[in-house]
Amino acid sequence: MRLRYAGDIDTAGRQIAAVVASTYGADLIAMDDDTASEALHHPPVTPWPRLREGEPLRAFTAETITIYQEHDVLLARIFGVSRSELA
């Protein structure tokens, strides 16, 4: 049986994923930089944190914001479907 793992894309999520991959040999899915970049360019169903007044939108990066595994971009990659098929 092959184990696949997807988690939140943030520092803690990536650390957990690394442990799961090294301990159990899991294949990591939907946790790469391309997925994070796509997710940052498409608003999630749940709201992003609010920017402080005057804070530029570029303040949100994969390093400064958690991209949750429930984000539709991640779900589409996990299930191998297009985002429109999730609706």
pLDDT at residue 48, as a whole number: 56
* Domains held by the chain: number: 1
Mean pLDDT of the chain, nearest integer = 83
Q: For the segment 39-70, what is each residue's pLDDT rounded down to a tens digit? A: 888 877 666 556 667 665 555 555 667 788 88
- Residues linked to residue 9 through DSSP beta bridges, in sequence order: 67
C-beta pairs of 77-85 under 8 Å, 24+ apart in sequence: 77/29, 77/30, 77/35, 78/6, 78/29, 78/30, 83/42
Instruction: Say if residues 7 and 17 touch (Cβ distance below 8 Å).
Output: yes
Q: For the segment 69-80, what is each residue's pLDDT rounded down to a tens digit? A: 888 899 999 999
pLDDT at residue 17, as a whole number: 97
> Which residue segment(s) compose the domain that 64 sits in?
4-86
Rounded CA-CA distance 24/38 in Å is 28
